[in-house]
Amino acid sequence: MSARSYFITGTDTGIGKSHASATLLHALRAQGLRAVGMKPVASGCEASAEGLRNEDALLLQSASSPTPAYADVNPYALRAPLAPELAAAQDGVEIALPILLAAHARLAAQADVVVVEGVGGWAAPLSASLDQADLARELGAAVVLVVGMRLGCINHARLTARAIAADGLQLIGWIGNEIDPHMDRRDDNFRLLQQRLDAPCWGRLPYTFQPEPRHFSHLLNVSK
C-alpha cells in the first residue's frame, strides 16, 4: 500500500502551518503510523556545518518517525526570507518539479503518511511555472487547511477553500490555530468557521508563546 500524502496549506503566511504540521505528525504517530514531514521549498534558511537549514523544516524532521534525511525533507533550501520565486532567483536556483517528486518518493517509501507543508497561502507560487496546486496534484495529495485564528480569518478561510476546489483539489479537513491571544470572540469565530467550511475540523490548537507540537497532538482528530 502506498503512503498517503497530506498537503498542508494556510490562510496566509505566518499562521502556524509548521506548528500544525508537526502536531499532525505526532498525532499520526500516536495512531501507530510511520509519518514523515516534508517542506519542499523553504526560504529564510541559515548556514550550518551541514549546509543551509530551515527552522520549519528541522521542526518537521524532528517530528517525523522514522527520521528522514534533511535533503529529502527540504530539497530546496533558499537563503533569503522572501517569496520562493524571488529567493530562488537570488540564489541562482531553479525549482524543478522532478526534484520535488523524487524527494517525496523517497520519503513515501519509508512511511505510511507524508505531511507536506506548503509555503505562505494557497496561491503563493513555488516558481514562475509551478503553483502549489500543481505539486499537490502531482503528489496525489489531499489538502488540509490551517486557519490562523485572527480577525479576517473567516473570509480568508472561505476564499482559500474555494480556490482549492477551483484548482481541482480536495480539502479533506482544516485545523484552527490560535495565533492572536487578544482576538475577540474566538469561540464564536470558530463556530462560524465550522458552519461555513465544507470540510471537517481536525482540531483547534491554542495560543502558546513557545509551542511544543507533541504536547498538543491529542487535540487533533485526524480523519482516516
The verdict on whether 224 is a catalytic residue reads no
Q: Which residues pair with 35 in a beta bridge?
A: 65, 113
Instruction: State residue 1's pLDDT score.
Output: 47
Tell whether the model's pLDDT for residue 213 goes beyond 50: yes
pLDDT tens for residues 40-88? 999 999 999 999 999 999 999 999 999 999 999 999 999 999 999 999 9
The 3-state DSSP class for residue 10 equals strand
The residue from 26, 29, 39, 186 that is catalytic is: 39
pLDDT tens for residues 139-187? 999 999 999 999 999 999 999 999 999 999 999 999 999 999 999 999 9
List the domains of the chain with CATH numbers: 4-40+95-219 (3.40.50.300)
Instruction: State residue 208's pLDDT score.
Output: 86
* CB-count burial class (<10 Å; 0-12, 13-18, 19+) for 73: buried
pLDDT tens for residues 95-142? 999 999 999 999 999 999 999 999 999 999 999 999 999 999 999 999
Residue 67 and residue 73: Cα distance in Å, rounded? Answer: 10
Average pLDDT over residues 188-210: 94
The 3-state DSSP class for residue 220 equals strand
pLDDT tens for residues 4-24? 999 999 999 999 999 999 999
What is the percentage of the chain residues whose pLDDT exceeds 90?
94
Cell numbers for 56, please give them: 520549519
Supply the mean pLDDT for the chain. 96
Instruction: State residue 2's pLDDT score.
Output: 79
E strand map for the chain: 4-10, 35-38, 41-42, 76-77, 113-121, 142-149, 171-178, 201-205
The 3-state DSSP class for residue 196 equals helix
Residue 167 and residue 179: Cα distance in Å, rounded? Answer: 28
What residue type is assigned to position 178 of the chain? E
